[in-house]
Amino acid sequence: MADQKTIDQRVKEIIVNQLNVNEEQITPQASFLDDLGADSLDTVELIMAFEEEFKDEIKGEIPESDAEKLQTVGDVTAYIQNKAGKK
């Protein structure tokens, strides 16, 4: 199972690459829409990137009903950790 630091770092790298933001802007409380300047297309692309990067941990795709709840960096990290723990 991946440890938290590894998941945190991988999530940050995806966000930096997808949204072209500085890593310092990425905190657990940072909202993709309000704090990191993402629009709805960006959030879809982020979810797809998270699915690809964490396919082993989450065992497939992130259901749309779950994706809608992933509003902050911390939401994503917690979701992936939760899924990784349910192997």
- Supply the residues annotated as catalytic: 39
| Side-chain-facing half-sphere of 16: CA atoms under 13 Å | 12
Q: How far apart are CA 63 and CA 65, in angstroms?
A: 5
Q: How far apart are CA 31 and CA 85, in angstroms?
A: 24
CA distances (Å), 13 to each of 21, 27, 32, in order?
A: 10, 12, 14
